[in-house]
Amino acid sequence: MKELIKRLVETYGPAGSEESIREVIMEEVRPYVDELHVDALGNLIALKRGGGKKLMLASHMDEIGVMVTSIDENGFLRFYGVGGISPFSLIGNRCYFANGTVGVFGMERLDAMKDLTMNKMFIDIGVDSREAALEKVKVGDVAAIKREFCDLGKRLVSKAMDDRIACAIQIEALKQVQNPAYDIYAVFTTQEEVGLRGARVAAYGITPDIGIAVDVTRTGDTPKCATMAVCLGKGPTVKVRDSSVLCTPAVRRHMEEVAKANDIPYQLEVLEAGGTDAGAIQLTKSGIPAGVMSIPCRYIHTASEMVDYDDVLNGVRFLVKLMETEYQG
C-alpha cells in the first residue's frame, strides 16, 4: 500500500479545495465499486452493492492549510488557518498553492516566539512587490503544507496522514472485500477539518442504517505526553468518545466483537479533544448509530504526521471484516 499512501498524502487538497485529491481517489476506486458520484458539497460517494442494510463509511479527503487574507506592497502574504493549525508548527516550513506556487512561512520578529500568532506571520513567495505577487496568488487562495512522504520502514511520515491514511485504508478495503453484508456507501468526505461539513451532507442524502468514520487519533506514547491509552503499533482503535461524538454503545460493542472474532489487535480510544465525521453522521435526521475506527498518529496537524504500517494493515483487515459482518443493533 505504500505507493498508494505516498500518492494520496502528496496530493494537494486543503478543506474546500479537494478537487485534485478527489480525482486521484476516484480513479483508484472506480474498478471496485458499482456506482460513483460527487454530491453538491464535493463528497465522493462510492457504492458497492451487497444487499441488506446501508453502511456508510467516511474518510475525509481534506487536509489542513492556510488561506491568503491580504498581500502587502512588498509581496508578502498574510493568512489564517484552514482547520486547526498551530503557528509554531509553521516556522521555516513551506506551503504550496493549487497552481504550484511555493512559499515559505516567516515571522516578523525572531524574539516574538513566546506570543506568536498567525497575524504576526507571513508567507514569502520570493517576489518583491504586490504586483508580482498578484501574478501568482490572490486573496482567498488556499495553500497546503509542502512536505514529502517518508518511509521509515515500520513507521511512515508525511503531511496529510490526517486523513489520507484512512482514505488509503478505505480504498484498499474496497479492493479486498469479498462478501459485503451491506450496500456499502464508502464516502470520501470534504471539509471535515472546518466542521464535519461534508459528512453531514452525505449522511443526509444516504440515510444509512449504520455509520463508521475512519480517521486518525492521538497517542500517549511519546516522552512526557498527555496521558492517553493509545500507542503506535498496537492496532487500530475503537473509539469511545471525542469532542464531537459519544459513539453508539451497540456499534462500539459490535466493532469490538468483530475484532476479537478475527484476531485483529485493537485499542479502546478516549479522545479528550478533536472530532470526527461520526459526530455529523450520528446527528443526521432522527439519528444514526455511529462508531469510529482510528489509526494512531503522532504529531497530528503538523508537517510530519507519523503512523505505524502494521496499524494500517490491521486497519484494512478490520474494515473489511466490518463490511462483511452484519450489525444487529
* Element at 68 (helix H, strand E): strand 65-71
Q: What are the catalytic residues?
A: 192
Q: How far is CA 321 from its chain centroid?
A: 22
Q: What is the pTM of this model?
A: 0.95
Identical topology for domains 2-63+159-324 and 65-146: no
**Domain spans of the chain?**
2-63+159-324, 65-146
- pLDDT 10s digit of each residue in the chain, 329 long? 999 999 999 999 999 999 999 999 999 999 999 999 999 999 999 999 998 899 999 999 999 999 999 999 999 999 999 999 999 999 889 999 999 999 999 998 766 677 888 989 999 999 999 999 999 999 999 999 999 999 999 999 999 999 999 999 999 999 999 999 999 999 999 999 999 999 999 999 999 999 999 999 999 999 988 888 999 999 999 999 999 999 999 999 999 999 999 999 999 999 998 999 999 999 999 999 999 999 999 999 999 999 999 999 999 999 999 999 999 88
Strand-by-strand arrangement of the 183-189 sheet: 35-38, 44-48, 183-189, 54-60, 210-217, 290-296, 237-241, 267-270
CATH classification of 65-146 is 2.40.30.40, yes or no? yes
Rounded distance between C-alpha atoms, residue 66 and residue 78, angstroms: 10
The values of phi and psi at residue 294, to 5°, are: -115, 155
- Contact between 185 and 50 (Cβ < 8 Å): no
Tell me how far apart the alpha carbons of residues 196 and 43 are, in angstroms, rounded to a whole number: 12
Residue with cell 517576489: 127
Grid coordinates standing for 11?
Answer: 496530493
Q: How far apart are CA 93 and CA 328, in angstroms?
A: 48
Cβ(61)–Cβ(44) below 8 Å: yes
From 160, 158, 144, 147, select the one nearest 67 (Cα to Cα). 144
Q: So what's the architecture of 2-63+159-324 in CATH?
A: 3-Layer(aba) Sandwich (3.40)
DSSP state letters, 160-222 = THHHHHHHHHHHHHHHH-SS-SSEEEEEEES-GGGTSHHHHHHHHHH--SEEEEEEEE--S-S
What is the grid cell recorded at 195? 466542521
Residue 166: which of 17, 9, 322 has the closest Cα? Answer: 9
Task: State the cell numbers at 57.
Answer: 463509511
